[in-house]
Amino acid sequence: MAKLTEKEITNYIFKFALDKEMLRKEKFTHLAETSRDKRMKKLFQVFSSTAQSHVAEIEQEMIKLDIK
């Protein structure tokens, strides 16, 4: 079995993390839009915003590491 290089592992991890954060953002955005409870709506909006911030950070690191 061929071993993965450090670059391949790094690429996979960053793409996996980006995918999960994007899904998390979509989920919390949907919950914020559909929630009737104002307190929960605000909480979901905060979670969505945090996930979007994580997406931006991951994308910036991917650019620095030349991950496409």
2 has pLDDT over 90: no
68 pLDDT band, cuts 50/70/90, is: confident
Q: For the chain, give the DSSP string.
A: -PPPPHHHHHHHHHHHHHHHHHHHHHHHHHHHHH---HHHHHHHHHHHHHHHHHHHHHHHHHHHTT--
* pLDDT 10s digits, 21-30: 999 999 999 9
For residue 47, being part of any structural domain is answered with yes
Would you state the pLDDT for residue 51? 98
Residue 43 belongs to domain spanning: 6-64
For residue 58, the model assigns a pLDDT of: 98
1 found inside a domain: no
Mean pLDDT of the chain: 97
Instruction: Give pLDDT tens digits for 26-58.
Output: 999 999 999 999 999 999 999 999 999 999 999
In the chain, the number of structural domains is 1
